[in-house]
Amino acid sequence: MLYINPENCRNRETRESFQGLKQAKFQRKRMLKQFSLVFFVLLACYNGVNSQELKHITKELEVNAPASEAWELYRKLGLLKLIDLKLTNIFQSTEVLKGDGGVGTVVKLTFVPGNSSYTEKFTVMDDQRRVKETKGLEGDCLAIGCSVQILEFEIIEKSQNSSIIKSTISYAVKEEFQAKDPKPSIQIVEAIVQSSKKFLERNN
């Protein structure tokens, strides 16, 4: 009869258990190293984006119209309709490439005479604060050396029948284009705001 020493079995089980623990510990350490590497890569990318110095151009224009009416024009696709009606001397066409006017909507504005355009994405649509923000995807300052271009419209209530349209362009310039000092087309934004002022005041 074959005799098996129980002590040997226990030792074998202990060794296997110990080896299993060592292997599991090794795998955990390996996963931790991989996670740390991914974390530091993401952190470096984040710091790289945020280390870009954003410049800001801010304009304010008072309008003799309630803030609620001004916001109704600026939110969603209201401005595109105004551009198509009143700014045909600047814009050849407007096109909604994606979405219905909410966050995530992508629109393309083609300038006269049609050989340049600007594409942007709606990133913020805050009805409570009356803030709309768009991020440039291509064209305008992005075509001449900017790495970031963000446009924000804020409608500020001044009184029951008056408000302020605050427009802010934030942009960052690529290091190799710093000497050329490229800037977004603030004149185009001003033309849109002035046109919206006339439209709102004519209806009040």
Claim to verify: residue 21 and residue 61 sit in the same structural domain: no
Domain end residue (candidates: 14, 33, 51): 51
Higher-confidence position of 14 and 51: 14
Q: What is the pLDDT of residues 116-161, one digit of tens each?
A: 999 999 999 999 999 999 999 999 999 999 999 999 999 999 999 9
Claim to verify: residue 82 and residue 131 sit in the same structural domain: yes
SS (H, E, C) the chain: CCCCCHHHHHHHHHHHHHHHHHHHHHHHHHHHHHHHHHHHHHHHHHHHHHCCCCEEEEEEEEECCCHHHHHHHHCCCHHHHHHHHHCCCCEEEEEEEECCCCCCCEEEEEECCCCEEEEEEEEEEECCCCEEEEEEEEEHHHHCCEEEEEEEEEEEEEECCEEEEEEEEEEEECHHHHHHCCCCCHHHHHHHHHHHHHHHHHCC
Claim to verify: residue 163 and residue 116 sit in the same structural domain: yes
Q: Burial-class residue 128 by CB neighbours within 10 Å (0-12, 13-18, 19+).
A: exposed
Claim to verify: residue 72 and residue 149 sit in the same structural domain: yes
Claim to verify: residue 34 and residue 123 sit in the same structural domain: no
Claim to verify: residue 105 and residue 154 sit in the same structural domain: yes
Q: Which amino acid is at 173?
A: V
Q: What is the pLDDT of residues 30-72, one digit of tens each?
A: 665 554 444 443 444 444 444 458 999 999 999 999 999 999 9
CATH number, domain containing residue 88: 3.30.530.20
Mean pLDDT to the nearest integer, 86-115: 96
Domain end residue (candidates: 26, 51, 76): 51
Question: Which residue among 55, 108, 121, 132 is the active-site one?
Answer: 132
Cα–Cα distance, 180 to 174 (Å, whole number): 10
Residue 15's pLDDT band (cuts 50, 70, 90): low
Claim to verify: residue 31 and residue 85 sit in the same structural domain: no
Claim to verify: residue 39 and residue 140 sit in the same structural domain: no
Asked whether 159 and 66 are in contact (CB, 8 A), the reply is no
Domain total for the chain?
2
Q: Is the pLDDT of residue 27 over 70?
A: no
Q: What is the pLDDT of residues 176-196, one digit of tens each?
A: 999 999 999 999 999 999 999
Claim to verify: residue 63 and residue 47 sit in the same structural domain: no
132 among known catalytic residues: yes
Claim to verify: residue 117 and residue 71 sit in the same structural domain: yes
Domain extent at residue 19:
1-51
Threshold 0.85, pTM exceeds: no
Claim to verify: residue 32 and residue 73 sit in the same structural domain: no
